[in-house]
Amino acid sequence: MTPRRAAIVVLDGVGIGAASDAAAYGDVGSNTLGNVARAVGGLSLPNFQKIGLGGVAPIDGMPFALRPTGAFGLMEPASAGKDSTTGHWEIAGLKLRVPFPTYAAGFPQSVIDDFAARTGRAVICNAVGSGTAILDRFADEHMRTGAWIVYTSADSVFQVAAHESVVPLAELYAACEAARALLVPPNNVSRVIARPFAGKPGAWVRTTNRRDFSIAPPGETLIDALKAAGIARTGVGKVDDLFARRGIEGGHTTGNAEGIARILDWIASGSGFLFGNLVDFDQLYGHRNDVPGFYKALQEFDNALPAITSALHEDDLLFITADHGNDPTTPSTDHARENVPLLAIGPRVRPGAIGRRASFSDLGATVAEWMGLGFRGAGKSFLPLMVAR
């Protein structure tokens, strides 16, 4: 059992500029951090700045720290796709060459009919759109009939919405598990998402009881390699769902505040490896084009950074990154094909530039080398660039 520890914290949707192939995804001009900075008149994130975020890319209000305390760089997406599952799998060493299927006109009727038959409830919606707009259109009818609201987006997701007073959570989750079982190739959707909501007409609100049911990774990941080596693996946020709960322990968290508290608990007494996702940037603000909310979430995490970094042990490495972009300043409410920031912190980290990495998988390879594993997945370790031998 290695005494070393490593943590990866994914700021969901916090990209840092359009990837080189963004045009193929319709995302030219997307730059989540850069555009948010311009929209608010410059970012004031002193702790991010101290680590070295200003050295990753030009950001208004974020000059480069002359003496950064961390290592910093940028990672380009190499997998096909721009969703959370694809991004987290690539970080963990698994590169997807074929994107998950998406449904610009809704799902095939045969899929909807099968879902209704398996769950015993009708389906009143099979649409593409933002969740809040979908509720405005279909929630009243759902309340009268009890039928499922099924919808998708530009991402590979099969989303099932139901009011918590109409459909018990256990039934909603069971329905999503049924959907997961029926969504096989060629309809192998990346994630089935339970979208429970509450409220009344004109004031519908999605609750924190969301659950994601991901397809299982088709190959070995960093998490599998750590498990085989007997190293503890703790998930924070929705990471357990994204890996179909394969090899991840530690439970599920629903928002940034709870996730940050769980990260601090792990630093204080945990072991092995932590893989965390802080979802509020994406779920609450990116998808709703809420620039002030997005910036507020960045400031809240920035305020938490001193407590996180000061608690790190001598043989700890903490990485902060993202899985894709979700630029709240663009007309789109969907994910964006963006590069992601890469920050590394720890007592043994040599401050300075890590450079531009060709794949998110380089991060998983680096953690694997730090933890003494032979696994490298689809990546190349940059550990020698940031930790002295």
**Residues 38, 93: one domain?**
yes
Strands 203-206, 191-200: pairing is antiparallel
Q: Is the pLDDT of residue 389 over 70?
A: no
- Find the mean pLDDT for residues 203-216: 92
**Per-residue confidence at 8, pLDDT binned at 50, 70, 90?**
very high
Residues 146 and 84 in one domain: no
Domain that holds residue 95: 5-99+215-386
Say how far apart CA 56 and CA 11 lie, in whole Å.
16
Contact predicate 194/167, CB 8 Å:
no
Average pLDDT, integer, range 310-333: 97
Q: Mean per-residue pLDDT for 179-203?
A: 95
Query: Which residue, of 213, 229, 254, is where some domain finishes?
Result: 213
pLDDT of residue 21: 97
* Confidence bin at 259 (pLDDT 50/70/90): very high
CA distance 282 to 344: 22
Listed as own residue / partner, the contacts of 305-309 with beta carbons closer than 8 Å and 24 or more positions apart are 305/47, 305/48, 305/51, 306/47, 307/264, 308/260, 308/263, 308/264, 308/267, 309/47, 309/51, 309/69, 309/345
**374 and 257 share a domain?**
yes
If phi > 0 it is left, if psi is from -120 to 50 it is alpha, else beta; for residue 383 that is: alpha
Q: What's the mean pLDDT when you consider all of the chain?
A: 96
Q: What is the mean pLDDT of residues 6-22?
A: 98
Query: 107 φ, ψ to 5°?
Result: -85, 155
> What distance lies between CA 19 and its chain's CA centroid?
17
pLDDT given for residue 1 in this prediction: 45
Q: Residue 321: name the closest of 353, 275, 256, 286 by CA.
A: 275
Please give the average per-residue pLDDT across 321-340, as a whole number.
Answer: 96
* Number of independent structural domains in the chain: 2
Mean pLDDT for the stretch of residues 140-159: 95
Residue 104 lies in a domain: no
Biggest alpha carbon–alpha carbon distance for the chain:
66
Which of 183, 213, 243 terminates a domain? The answer is 213
Cα 36–chain centre separation: 18
- What's 86's domain CATH number? 3.40.720.10
Residue 382 has a pLDDT of 98
**Cβ proximity of 32 and 326 under 8 Å:** yes
Peptide bond just before 341 cis, omega within 30 deg: no
Six-digit token string for 341: 């920031």
- Percentage of residues in the chain having pLDDT higher than 70: 99
- Does one domain contain both 302 and 362? yes
Whole-angstrom Cα distance, residue 382 to residue 321?
15
pLDDT reading at 142 higher than 50: yes
160 occurs within a structural domain: yes
Domain annotation covers residue 276? yes
